[in-house]
Structure 1
């Protein structure tokens, strides 16, 4: 079964939980801003249930789109390391769409959704 990497823009989308991602095929990276200091207890608990398949990535520095650039970097790195995987960017930010279209044109299965509740179709 292919790995599904879920990259969450937590500055843009504050999820209540990661319901539906508690299976071995999912790996979750949650990106938080440098000055972001609060995460809901429910969300933190759902991250813990994933064990080593989930991690927080707190960016360093501030600036316009700083967190987005971190997500783009990790997305490219993961796509290189695991070219058979699926990739999901959870964000309302349409600025990711040109990158996603470029990756798709290179046969990388990636999509952006505003929530994890969206059912992913390939």
Structure 2
């Protein structure tokens, strides 16, 4: 399985369900603000148990968007080193959305979520029903709004990773073909446009 990096803006999102980050495929970076005196003990225990697959990054000084810039810096470093990985930014700050869209357009598997339980690989268990898979995939695309995958490659990767375990290439291609036939999206070269409301 490809690595799943979870970058958490602990200044505005404090995960209540840290256990969802316990599986080995998650590598966690917790960004803590300069003025935050403590971290939830359950979150700290979960991250400590992950060993080198989790770390805290304490911001040394306070300032407008200081933590966001740190996340952007580490996200860029990780994406350059492992462009095939999945990157999940946990933040309520929509100011990062243009960066997410730019990275998606470059073919990277990146998204912003307001809760760790919204990460597709966490949220959606495997199912044998094609109709249910199509419904979940459509719900995911609707929920993403303007953050939907902008390229065919990113859409393919996101759809595959939406389920646990991830879908095979053939299964993913089949689901996307069904949605394309229904007019949910249109391919234009390597790009995708959607007929869904933002």
Higher share of residues assigned helix: 2
Fold-level similarity (TM above 0.5): yes
Query: What SS is found at the alignment partner of 1:19?
Result: helix
- Number of the residue aligned with 2:21: 21
Shift of 1:13: 0.3
Q: Return the TM-score normalized by structure 1.
A: 0.94
Q: How many pairs are equivalent?
A: 122
Pairing 1:62–2:54 present: no
Q: Deviation digits for residues 46-85 of structure 1, max 9, x if unmatched?
A: 1112111110000121110000000000000100011110
Q: Counterpart in 1 of 2:40?
A: 40
Unaligned runs of 5+ residues in structure 2 are 121-139, 141-157, 159-198
Structure 2 matches for 1:98-109, cutoff 5 A? 98-109=98-109
**Change beyond 3 A, Cα 1:49–1:104:** same
Confirm whether residue 91 of structure 1 aligns to residue 105 of structure 2.
no
CA shift, 1:22, in A, is 1.9
In the aligned structure 1, how far is the partner of 2:90 from the partner of 2:105?
A: 20
More deviation in 101-110 or 32-41?
Answer: 32-41
Q: 1:84 to 1:61 in 2, by over 3 A?
A: same
Q: CA RMSD in A?
A: 1.2
1:51 paired residue number: 51
Query: For residues 115 and 52 of structure 2, what CA distance do their matches in structure 1 show?
Result: 22
Cα distance in 2 for partners of 1:17, 1:56 equals 17
Question: Are the equivalent residues in 1 in contact too, given 2:17–2:116 (CA < 8 A)?
Answer: no
Higher relative contact order (CA 8 A, sep 6+): 1
Structure whose CA Rg is larger: 2
Q: TM-score, normalised by structure 2?
A: 0.59
**Cα shift at 1:119:** 4.0
**Structure 1, unaligned runs of 5 or more:** none
